């Protein structure tokens, strides 16, 4: 045998054969997951026309989703979506004014901007919501900001974070945490990597919910979902969900309770408004009364200044309740003299249940809401059907159909729920409702016992909404409707990795043990 | 009409019939029919993922890159005139996306990466014994580390021809190069891999 033959054999043995033996294809679950991802990517591309067929245009396609949504739609979306899709105000390199459609700058890649949308604590004023390359917050203050549609962050002061300029050539985003506690969720599905520099460490993220804290004793990184890689002193650490790494410990530990709480708070916080928005500013009342709540969500830390979707909101304070009408581009201020702080503040106008035939779709929907809250199921159903008839194919009509399906399911009539959902487009046009609608579709299939349909629905749901607050439940149910052990095992293992202390962890372990004993010789 | 039958994974494929079905789906998809496009990508999803994985490894971004491939295909379909088979057109896009990714990694990291056990576990045979899986993982870690040392052009040509067994003429069509150029790239890749292996075994 010649030397060159020997060399060829050596390469075949060491490189070619192991690669040929690798299981590089997809199993059914992986294929379904990827197919759902492609569908979602096509939806995103279709929602944002890409000029000139350039790849960059596709990368930014997701940045301008749903900009044309009307103010009323935004109100309905906030009211209904358990966890609406993350959408931001100005996109990186974009310019926008209230009420206008952001436009993506052409030419060389502009540096990303941090676009604050809520600032609470000392120093809150309208200027603190200006887009900037560097955010600084004093002790006791907190700011929430977005970078385009992919990054949503909360910085707890004292802290400072900036966008590294120039932006990396790979289409990613790089942040520098100078000090403070930074909580981030990053959607990496549009491509590109997020890097976060902090004292002595660089953290690389593809898509996840995590925190980077620049503390006096050094950097600490914690991961709530997904995983990140942190390089410190030349060593790469992979940090998985549920764990934290710190420079002082140099090892992985469970996430400290206060960090887990802050991550959950960040995750549950409302996203930046879509479309028209106004500025709301609330100053503390004359007494040390508790913090108010906007549309049922508590607002922490006064004074606070925030972008809120244009439209009507309900503000509950210590002394009463205000109906807050926010116009696009306007500023609404609630100061010490406001009725919010007075016990004599009038309650918001209640819409009558009876349909006088002249109400707008929004009024009809408010009436239906009142019926769902105060009336019988039948009254609520009639009121919702009236909304559907008044606004077929519109945002209120879609919301009403969703509520009808929910009522039917709660009433034990899953078949009727499925019929209501079948009247909705898939995906629904109102992106704020899309996640809730998809989740409900899956619940209906599970209730009806249609396992293959439920599995397909849940797979698509998890792919389309990987950061959903329903993910743990979706994964657990997906595993339970996947009868074969071989297919269920990776799902159960994924559940235990992602939610080791989750409500279904004991069941998952039990089933894994059962599968193992069945496959044992 | 010549009907070619090719053995693939133990089943026969009528190449002409497959190409005709692709052409039908392409025509519908190019006219804006999303169901046709869905049928098209579902037909080719597995092969695309397999090819991309052999080229770049089981990287975390793989699913995103697959999405990008099919978005590129969707956008380019109206310009696809059918001079080549759809599979050739698709593989060109796969190769371009792989090139871009490999170049990006080289620019960004400037050095080789390593895959951890979790990454590699996804591509070793699931039904093998734990020992066999561990051995295969180690082999694959070495394979990708050595492929990382090659230039993207040589790496892609080597995977297409040496690993996947693609004919030089077809690889040339996919890579947009002459068969001689492809042959040269594969040869250079082999030499480089041998030299690297010997360097590792006999450190100076």
Q: Tell me how far CA of residue A190 lies from CA of A92, A168, A274, A313, in angstroms.
A: 14, 15, 19, 33
CA distance, residue B62 to nearest chain A CA (Å): 10
Contact B139 A14 (CB under 8 A): yes
Determine the Cα–Cα distance for residues B54 and A64; give it in Å rounded to an integer: 35
* CB distance A429 to A398 below 8 Å: yes
The separation between CA B66 and the C-alpha centre of its own chain, rounded to angstroms, equals 11
Q: Tell me how far CA of residue A273 lies from CA of A35, A253, A287, A469, in angstroms.
A: 30, 36, 31, 19
- Decide if pLDDT at A68 tops 60: no
Report residue A323's pLDDT band, with 50, 70 and 90 as the boundaries.
Answer: confident
* CB distance A378 to A412 below 8 Å: no
Quick one: pLDDT at residue A521? 52
Say which residue, A218 or A392, is predicted with more confidence. A218
The separation between CA A380 and the C-alpha centre of its own chain, rounded to angstroms, equals 30
Report residue B110's pLDDT band, with 50, 70 and 90 as the boundaries.
Answer: low
Which residues does chain B have within 8 Å of residue A486's beta carbon, measured at their own beta carbons?
126
DSSP β-bridge partners for residue A309: A277
Report residue A381's pLDDT band, with 50, 70 and 90 as the boundaries.
Answer: confident
Quick one: pLDDT at residue A69? 24
Quick one: pLDDT at residue A226? 79
| CB crowding B165-174: b at 16 or more within 10 Å, else e | ebebebbbbb
DSSP state at residue A347: P
Chain B's closest residue to A237, CA to CA, is B116
CA distance, residue B57 to nearest chain A CA (Å): 9
Which residues does chain B have within 8 Å of residue A15's beta carbon, measured at their own beta carbons?
143, 146-147, 162-163, 193
Pairing of strands A218-225, A103-104: unpaired
A173: phi then psi, degrees, rounded to nearest 5? -130, 140
Which residues does chain A have within 8 Å of residue B126's beta carbon, measured at their own beta carbons?
23, 486
User: Alpha helices of A283-339 — where are they, by DSSP H?
Assistant: none
Quick one: pLDDT at residue A97? 31
Determine the Cα–Cα distance for residues B143 and A15; give it in Å rounded to an integer: 5
CA angle B158, B162, B166 (to 5 degrees): 100
Determine the Cα–Cα distance for residues B155 and A285; give it in Å rounded to an integer: 67
Write out residues 32-71 of A within 8 Å (CB-CB) of B.
33-35, 37-39, 41-42, 45, 50, 53, 55, 58
Report residue A286's pLDDT band, with 50, 70 and 90 as the boundaries.
Answer: low
ipTM of the complex: 0.85
A479 contact partners, CB below 8 Å, separation of at least 6 = A488, A491, A492, A495, A508, A511
- Decide if pLDDT at A86 tops 60: no
Nearest to A200 by CA among A235, A248, A233, A230: A233
- Decide if pLDDT at B1 tops 60: no
pLDDT in tens, A173-182: 889 998 899 9
Q: Stretch B135-151: mean pLDDT, rounded?
A: 87
Nearest to B190 among A11, A18, A169 (CB): A11
- Worst-scoring range by mean pLDDT, A263-267, A373-377, A467-471? A373-377
User: Alpha helices of A292-449 — where are they, by DSSP H?
Assistant: 361-374, 377-390, 395-410, 414-422, 431-448
- Is the peptide bond preceding residue A321 cis, with omega within 30 degrees of 0? no
Pairing of strands B11-14, B5-8: antiparallel
- Worst-scoring range by mean pLDDT, A372-376, A482-486, A514-518, B124-128? A372-376
A89 contact partners, CB below 8 Å, separation of at least 6 = A96, A102, A115, A117, A131, A146, A272, A273, A277, A307
Q: Identify the three-state secondary structure at position A154.
A: strand
A193: phi then psi, degrees, rounded to nearest 5? -120, 145
Nearest to A405 by CA among A397, A390, A416: A416
Q: Stretch A121-137: mean pLDDT, rounded?
A: 82
CB pairs under 8 A between A and B: 127
Say which residue, A90 or B127, is predicted with more confidence. B127
Chain A's closest residue to B35, CA to CA, is A39
Quick one: pLDDT at residue A168? 66
Quick one: pLDDT at residue B186? 93
Nearest to A312 by CA among A265, A365, A354: A365
Determine the Cα–Cα distance for residues B71 and B49; give it in Å rounded to an integer: 14
Q: Stretch A368-396: mean pLDDT, rounded?
A: 77
Pairing of strands A142-147, A115-120: antiparallel
pLDDT in tens, A187-198: 876 666 888 988
Residue indicated by tokens 């676009």: A115
- Decide if pLDDT at A157 tops 50: yes
Q: Identify the three-state secondary structure at position A168.
A: coil
- Worst-scoring range by mean pLDDT, A64-78, A85-99, A404-418, B19-33? A64-78
- Worst-scoring range by mean pLDDT, A28-42, A343-357, B159-173? A343-357
DSSP β-bridge partners for residue A120: A142, A304
Above pLDDT 70, what percent of chain A? Answer: 72
- Decide if pLDDT at A401 tops 90: no
pLDDT in tens, B43-92: 898 899 999 999 998 887 788 888 889 988 988 888 887 778 899 999 99
Nearest to A173 by CA among A146, A154, A201, A155: A146
Say which residue, B108 or B145, is predicted with more confidence. B145
A294 contact partners, CB below 8 Å, separation of at least 6 = A280, A308, A313, A314, A315, A324
CA distance, residue B40 to nearest chain A CA (Å): 11
Nearest to A434 by CA among A459, A405, A464: A464
Report residue A2's pLDDT band, with 50, 70 and 90 as the boundaries.
Answer: low
Report residue A48's pLDDT band, with 50, 70 and 90 as the boundaries.
Answer: low
Nearest to B98 by CA among B119, B129, B124, B69: B69
Which residues does chain B have within 8 Å of residue A427's beta carbon, measured at their own beta carbons?
none
- Worst-scoring range by mean pLDDT, A220-229, A455-464, A501-510, B149-158? A501-510
Mean predicted lDDT score pLDDT of chain A: 73
Q: Stretch A395-407: mean pLDDT, rounded?
A: 83
Q: Stretch B144-148: mean pLDDT, rounded?
A: 89
Query: CB-hemisphere CA count at 13 Å for B175?
Result: 27
pLDDT in tens, A446-488: 888 888 888 888 888 888 877 666 787 888 888 888 888 888 8
Mean predicted lDDT score pLDDT of chain B: 81
A142: phi then psi, degrees, rounded to nearest 5? -150, 140
Nearest to A377 by CA among A418, A421, A408: A408
Nearest to A408 by CA among A395, A399, A419: A419
CA distance, residue B128 to nearest chain A CA (Å): 12
- Best A13, A18, A164 member to test B by mutation, with max B CBs in 10 Å, is A18
- Is the peptide bond preceding residue A467 cis, with omega within 30 degrees of 0? no
Q: Stretch A80-95: mean pLDDT, rounded?
A: 29
- Decide if pLDDT at A29 tops 90: no
Determine the Cα–Cα distance for residues B189 and B123; give it in Å rounded to an integer: 24
Report residue A109's pLDDT band, with 50, 70 and 90 as the boundaries.
Answer: very low
User: Alpha helices of A348-394 — where are they, by DSSP H?
Assistant: 361-374, 377-390
Chain B's closest residue to A38, CA to CA, is B67
Say which residue, A327 or B195, is predicted with more confidence. B195
Other C-beta atoms closer than 10 Å to the C-beta of B7 total 8
CA distance, residue B190 to nearest chain A CA (Å): 7
CA distance, residue B88 to nearest chain A CA (Å): 19
Quick one: pLDDT at residue B90? 93
Contact B143 A18 (CB under 8 A): yes
Determine the Cα–Cα distance for residues A439 and A252; give it in Å rounded to an integer: 34
Quick one: pLDDT at residue A92? 29
CB of A22 within 8 Å of any CB in chain B?
yes
- Decide if pLDDT at A169 tops 70: no
- Decide if pLDDT at A392 tops 90: no
Determine the Cα–Cα distance for residues A26 and B179; give it in Å rounded to an integer: 31
Which residues does chain B have within 8 Å of residue A14's beta carbon, measured at their own beta carbons?
139, 142-143, 146, 197
Token pair for B164: 């996947």
| Dihedral sign (CA A299, A300, A305, A307) | negative
CA distance, residue A389 to nearest chain B CA (Å): 30
Quick one: pLDDT at residue A99? 31
Report residue B202's pLDDT band, with 50, 70 and 90 as the boundaries.
Answer: low
- Decide if pLDDT at A505 tops 60: yes
Token pair for A22: 């690798």
Q: Identify the three-state secondary structure at position A224.
A: strand
Token pair for A57: 């245009």
Quick one: pLDDT at residue B125? 73
Q: Stretch A312-341: mean pLDDT, rounded?
A: 75
* CB distance B142 to B120 below 8 Å: no
Chain A's closest residue to B42, CA to CA, is A35
Determine the Cα–Cα distance for residues A478 and B184; give it in Å rounded to an integer: 50
Determine the Cα–Cα distance for residues A232 and A234; give it in Å rounded to an integer: 5
């Amino acid at each position: 045998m010649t030397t060159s033959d020997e060399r060829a054999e050596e390469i075949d043995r060491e490189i070619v054969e192991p690669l040929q033996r690798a299981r590089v294809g997809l199993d059914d679950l992986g294929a379904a997951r990827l197919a759902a991802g492609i569908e979602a990517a096509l939806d995103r591309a279709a929602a944002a026309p890409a000029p000139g067929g350039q790849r960059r245009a596709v990368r930014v396609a997701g940045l301008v989703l749903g900009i044309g949504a009307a103010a009323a739609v935004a109100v309905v979306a906030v009211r209904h979506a358990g966890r609406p899709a993350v959408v931001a105000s100005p996109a990186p390199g974009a310019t926008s004014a209230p009420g206008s459609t952001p436009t993506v700058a052409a030419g060389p890649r502009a540096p990303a901007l941090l676009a604050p949308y809520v600032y609470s604590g000392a120093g809150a004023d309208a200027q603190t919501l200006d887009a900037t390359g560097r955010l600084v917050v004093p002790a006791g203050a907190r700011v929430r900001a977005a970078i385009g549609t992919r990054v949503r962050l909360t910085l707890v002061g004292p802290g400072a974070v900036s966008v590294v300029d120039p932006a990396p050539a790979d289409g990613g985003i790089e942040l520098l945490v100078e000090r403070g506690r930074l909580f981030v969720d990053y959607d990496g599905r549009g491509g590109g990597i997020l890097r976060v520099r902090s004292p002595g460490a660089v953290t690389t993220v593809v898509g996840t919910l995590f925190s980077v804290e620049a503390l006096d004793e050094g950097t600490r990184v914690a991961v709530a979902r997904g995983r990140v890689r942190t390089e410190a002193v030349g060593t790469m650490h992979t940090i998985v969900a549920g764990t934290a790494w710190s420079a002082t410990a140099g090892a992985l530990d469970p996430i400290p309770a206060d960090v887990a709480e802050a991550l959950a708070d960040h995750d549950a916080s409302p996203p930046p408004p879509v479309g028209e928005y106004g500025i709301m500013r609330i100053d503390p009342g004359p007494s040390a009364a508790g913090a108010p709540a906007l549309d049922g969500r508590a607002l922490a830390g006064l004074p606070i200044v925030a972008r809120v979707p244009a439209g009507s909101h309900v503000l509950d304070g210590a002394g009463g309740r205000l109906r807050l009408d926010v116009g696009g581009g306007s500023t609404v201020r609630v100061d010490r003299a406001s009725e919010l702080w007075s016990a004599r503040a009038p309650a918001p106008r209640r819409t009558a249940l009876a349909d006088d035939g002249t109400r707008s779709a929004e009024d009809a929907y408010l009436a239906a809401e009142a019926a769902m809250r105060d009336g019988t199921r039948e009254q609520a159903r009639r009121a919702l059907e009236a909304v559907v008839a008044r606004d077929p194919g519109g945002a209120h009509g879609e919301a009403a159909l969703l509520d009808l399906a929910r009522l039917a399911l709660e009433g034990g009539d899953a078949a009727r729920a499925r019929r209501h959902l079948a009247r909705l487009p898939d995906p629904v046009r109102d992106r704020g409702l899309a996640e809730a609608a998809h989740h409900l579709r899956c619940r209906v299939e599970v209730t009806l016992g249609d396992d293959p349909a439920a599995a397909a629905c849940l797979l698509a749901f998890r792919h389309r909404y990987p950061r959903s607050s329903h993910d743990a439940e979706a994964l657990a149910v997906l595993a339970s409707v996947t009868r074969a052990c071989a297919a269920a095992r990776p799902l159960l293992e994924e559940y235990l990795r992602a939610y080791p202390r989750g409500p279904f962890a004991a069941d998952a372990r039990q089933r894994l043990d059962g599968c193992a004993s069945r496959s044992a010789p | 009409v010549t009907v070619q039958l090719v053995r693939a994974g133990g089943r026969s494929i009528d190449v002409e019939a497959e190409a005709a079905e692709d052409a039908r789906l392409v025509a519908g998809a190019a006219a804006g029919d999303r169901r046709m496009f869905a049928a098209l990508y579902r037909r080719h999803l597995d092969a695309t993922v397999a090819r991309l994985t052999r080229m770049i490894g089981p990287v975390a971004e793989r699913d995103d890159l697959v999405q990008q491939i099919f978005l590129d295909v969707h956008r380019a379909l109206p310009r696809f005139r059918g001079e080549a088979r759809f599979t050739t057109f698709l593989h060109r896009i796969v190769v371009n996306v792989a090139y871009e990714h490999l170049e990006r990694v080289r620019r960004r990291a400037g050095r080789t990466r390593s895959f951890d056990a979790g990454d590699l576990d996804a591509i070793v045979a699931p039904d093998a014994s734990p020992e066999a899986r561990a051995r295969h993982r180690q082999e694959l870690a070495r394979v990708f580390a050595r492929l990382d040392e090659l230039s993207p052009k040589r790496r892609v040509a080597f995977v297409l021809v040496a690993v996947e067994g693609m004919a030089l003429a077809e690889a040339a069509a996919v890579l947009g190069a002459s068969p001689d150029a492809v042959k040269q790239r594969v040869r250079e890749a082999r030499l480089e891999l041998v030299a690297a292996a010997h360097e590792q075994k006999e450190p100076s």
